[in-house]
Chains A and B, each alone.
Chain A
């Protein structure tokens, strides 16, 4: 890319690219601005100047107890990620370092479970949750989120683990390292970046999951995705509050997403595009 481009052409491309980017980003920007307005200002026509009022942020907490769904989102996304890792790390590890002739088939089959449409199993899952008392509990939803993202977690970890050269293991073994030494001193440090990327992507997916959270919660375990969906009709016109609730709901994930673009490509394409 060392080709010289005239400044004028570069400015032309820059203007075009920024225009497109700002149009795409506009709904998010406008939500943040609206969240800083008062309710009256929010519906009094197009205006990009916020009144810098934090009133709506205070109101979503005092009127809707915002902290509760927020904490539910945190607990569900972290909890389901931890659970998924506990199951997926050993599996991905075994498949990457002691592959058998069935490893590829197993991986493909795991991927296929991700293709199952959620709505096809809505009825049985709903009834199971009702009858076992898991409905509207954090533990039930945590397990649910773990299951739907498990294939992606195994896949991502597998593609990362497979990049760790096997020779390093052999060298360590020659030096007399035990299996325990191998895992703690050799493999873990090399696996940590891959695990971190996987964690990031899984938290994003779990945080934004909306189908199961809406189906399987009411008030107690409802995370932000279910809480905001319930804003749809009655509070329809309280835009400043809706914007404040939305801003807080998307901000943490937006920032995480900015830092994980590369991992996202890899995770969401199951390693097909790197």
Chain B
């Protein structure tokens, strides 16, 4: 159907988007790669010199680096566990016949639309504050002493906040998938005497598998980049106990002005994200055929 003329027109129409994204991908990443081999500190730009692998060795042998990798993994896995399991449970509950389903849905997905700094500050001040927060009020009401969340359990606190933000996403995607489950199939299984548990394991879970995969992969991409929540609550502390890789690189770049070190850190962030991306691309790519 496409003539040569429409084909060249199509090429012209595609070009701006492709060129823009090409520049956006190649130029900054190329610069990061180049900087990662330089001794380059913004406080002393005149002393810039070739560093070889020094930045990599320095960044990767820093104990803070290993800790940040550990924290990144705990954060990502913790949030994934909470949001996927919680999301399945809530999606199944909302899918049941209930009064006011529309409103329940709206209330449940709302946290997703709260921008990260606001979400973090609400939790930090009004929910988890050791003396004035709702949790502290609740603890006093129950007769136990309130917890100083961000001092005692900094990483857990951030996991809770980030989970609150992403639980709606998981719920919404899983609910959408659940609603496309064939009701007759479920009824047939029920008539054949399949109990609720086996219906869940053999019917519901396999049906949601694809949606679950997508939820896990997309969330992982975003969770690797958690930043604002840490910035406004713990600032990565106490020590490095709530510093993830993103925050560590941010600190190297913006607070230590260490361009070379931050760039070397950035390269490993790219490699980490690529692992996830390859799987995500496969899952999404299937949909194109």
Which A residues are within 8 Å of any B CB, using their own CB?
1, 3, 5, 9-11, 13-14, 16-18, 20-22, 24-25, 27-28, 30-31, 34, 43, 45-46, 87-88, 90-91, 93-95, 97-98, 100, 104, 106-128, 147, 150-151, 154, 166, 170, 204, 207-208, 210-211, 214-215, 224-226, 228-229, 231-232, 236-237, 239, 242-243, 246, 249-250, 253-254, 256-258, 261-262, 264-265, 268-274
Complexed CA–CA distance, A264 and B169 (Å): 9
Residues in A whose Cβ lies below 8 Å from that of B149 = none
Chain B residues bordering chain A, tally (CB within 8 A): 106
Contact B284 A115 (CB under 8 A): no
Instruction: Please judge, given known A-B contacts A20-B90, A98-B6, A123-B35, whether A257 and B109 are in contact too, CB under 8 Å.
Output: yes
Q: With a CB–CB cut-off of 8 A, which chain B residues contact A17? A: 93-94, 96, 98, 101, 104
Starting from the known contacts A13-B98, A121-B266, A269-B284, 10 additional A-B residue pairs (CB-CB under 8 Å) come to A27-B123, A46-B137, A90-B13, A115-B276, A117-B270, A121-B31, A124-B32, A243-B122, A258-B110, A274-B176
Name B residues whose Cβ lies closer than 8 Å to a Cβ of A.
1-2, 6-7, 9-11, 13-14, 16-18, 20-21, 24-25, 27-29, 31-32, 35, 90, 93-94, 96-101, 103-119, 121-127, 132, 134, 137, 164, 167-169, 172-173, 176-177, 183, 187, 210-211, 214, 218, 221, 224-225, 227-228, 231-233, 245-246, 249-250, 253-254, 259, 262-263, 265-267, 269-270, 272-274, 276-277, 280-281, 283-285, 287-288
Kindly report which residue of chain A lies nearest to residue B137, judged by CB atoms. A46
Residue from the list B112, B134, B232, B249 in contact with A46, Cβ < 8 A: B134
Q: Are the CB atoms of B115 and A228 closer together than 8 Å?
A: yes
Nearest CB to that of B169 among chain A residues?
A: A268
Q: Is the CB of A123 within 8 A of B116?
A: no
B residues in contact with A20, CB < 8 Å: 90, 93, 108
Within the complex, which residue of B100, B109, B249, B284 is in contact with A119, where a contact is CB–CB below 8 Å? B249
**Contact between chains at B24 and A90 (CB < 8 Å):** no
Tell me which residues across on chain A come within 8 A of B245, comparing CB atoms.
Answer: 119
5 contacts between A and B (CB under 8 A): A28-B122, A257-B109, A258-B109, A264-B172, A271-B287
Contacts of B177 in A (CB 8 A): 273
Taking a contact as CB atoms closer than 8 A, the residue among A91, A104, A122, A151 that contacts B249 in the complex is A122
Most buried by A among B1, B121, B269, B276: B121
Chain A residue at minimum C-beta to C-beta distance from B250:
A119
Q: Tell me if A232 and B121 are in contact (CB < 8 A).
A: yes
> How many contacts A-B (CB < 8 Å)?
303
Across-interface contacts of B277 in A (CB, < 8 A) = 112, 115
A25–B108 CB distance below 8 A:
yes
User: How near does chain B come to A27, taking the closest CB pair, in angstroms?
Assistant: 5
Q: B104 contacts A113, CB within 8 Å? A: no
- Which of A3, A21, A87 touches B108 (beta carbons < 8 Å)? A21
